[in-house]
Amino acid sequence: MQRKLLVTGGAGFIGSHVVRRLVARYPSYQILNLDALTYAGNLENLRDVEASPNYQFVHADITDEAAMDRVFADHVADAVIHLAAESHVDRSILDPLSFIRTNVLGTAVLLNAARKHWAGRSDVLFYHVSTDEVYGSLGDIGFFTEDTPYDPRSPYSASKASSDHLVKAYHHTFGLPVVISNCSNNYGSHQFPEKLIPLMIHNIVQRKPLPVYGEGLNVRDWLWVEDHAAAIDIVFHKGRLGETYNIGGFNEWKNIDLVHLLCRIMDRKLQREAGDSASLITYVKDRAGHDRRYAIDASKIQCELGWSPSLQFEEGLERTVEWYLAHPEWVEHITSGSYADYYQRQYIHR
């Protein structure tokens, strides 16, 4: 079946993996990658597919109403996979309005364009990709389910919660065919080194301090980005309209334990003495409003759609380290602009 899919944020970390998968697996689909190319959007992430006959890049900002109207009119997409978002918690604390503009207003602009150009059609889909952070913070036990009440704690998570509610409202009010997924922390290749794992890898290579918030006891559920892309593929094709699917790795780690594991892998890969990298760990003041624990119950997508993670975390982390060590030029290029020093000054764990 021929389809034309508009993937927003397709030059970013998760988006590039989704685009790459769709281009390779569905040669009869036309994949339109729409991205504003802000600091974390990088077309180098898609060099391997840019010449594919079923791939096209569209440079535009989702907050631009006229531009989105033109995109829908010119390209006649029959589905949207919406990944474009500001996603960096610490920056949302420093500049909340930029997150509201992109994540809330941008989503509303897309929804309006879809509603206008898809009027009367039932063979379309607006797929909104969101985060587990909309659910707030867990204690030592329990998991987020699709029925967990929203309780966002940061400007970032509040902006994503707002966009989730808008998508649901357009479904219920206007009958727009939608589906939503909420994922846990992603890791893997092509992630901008402001997030915990690529930041630590980069700093270990450079023998720079490894900043850990508080005592490092915050817990996150980690999901390999290629497993997430596979889940998005399945939800897009098989998910029930109007439903939400939580996507998690069944893989909880305390930040400090993850950093120690990463240090051991890096010492081995770099042929350094055991404990060399761990000596760089530096405890820093905790982030404002830092959520204690995230953990997803992904049994719904597992039972209904047959998805489950393919990798154990240790194997995924090994592959991630190997990719960054094999692509120092990618890291150097992406961190060499005006943003180069920012991620070193901030302590980003999401």
* Domain 4-186+221-247 fold: Rossmann fold (3.40.50)
- Residue ranges of the domains in the chain? 4-186+221-247, 191-220+252-290+311-345
- Please tell me which residue in 35, 90, 133, 227 is annotated as part of the active site: 133
78 is catalytic: no
Two domains, one topology: 4-186+221-247 and 191-220+252-290+311-345: no
- From first to last of its 350 residues, what are the pLDDT tens digits of the chain? 689 999 999 999 999 999 999 999 999 999 999 999 988 888 999 999 999 999 999 999 999 999 999 999 999 999 999 999 998 788 889 999 999 999 999 999 999 999 999 998 999 999 999 999 999 999 989 999 999 999 999 999 999 999 999 999 999 999 999 999 999 999 999 998 888 999 999 999 999 999 999 999 999 999 999 999 999 999 999 999 999 999 999 899 999 999 999 999 999 999 999 999 999 999 999 888 788 899 999 999 999 999 999 999 999 999 999 999 999 988 888 776 544 444 444 434 44
Q: What pLDDT score was predicted for residue 333?
A: 82
Q: What pLDDT score was predicted for residue 7?
A: 98
First vs last C-alpha separation in the chain: 39
Q: What pLDDT score was predicted for residue 344?
A: 44
- Please tell me which residue in 55, 127, 156, 324 is annotated as part of the active site: 156
Alpha helices in 1-105 (DSSP H): 13-25, 65-75, 89-94, 96-99
- Please tell me which residue in 90, 132, 164, 194 is annotated as part of the active site: 132
Q: What pLDDT score was predicted for residue 201?
A: 97
CA dihedral over 297, 299, 305, 310, signed as positive or negative: positive
DSSP string spanning 300-347? HHHHHH-----S-HHHHHHHHHHHHHH-HHHHHHHTSSTTTTHHHHS-
Which of 3.40.50.720, 3.40.50.2300, 3.90.25.10, 3.40.350.10 is the CATH number of 191-220+252-290+311-345?
Answer: 3.90.25.10
What pTM was computed for the model? 0.94
133 is catalytic: yes
Q: In degrees to the nearest 10, what's the CA dihedral of 117, 73, 169, 5?
A: 110
| Lookup: tokens for 153 | 């704690």
Q: What pLDDT score was predicted for residue 349?
A: 43
Q: Are strands 219-224 and 252-254 parallel, antiparallel or unpaired?
A: antiparallel
Taking the CB of residue 158, how many other CB atoms lie within 10 A of it?
21
Distance between CA atoms of residues 291 and 301, nearest Å: 25
Q: What pLDDT score was predicted for residue 1?
A: 67
Q: Are 101 and 63 in contact (CB under 8 A)?
A: yes
Measured CA angle at 338 (ends 226, 12), to 5 deg: 20
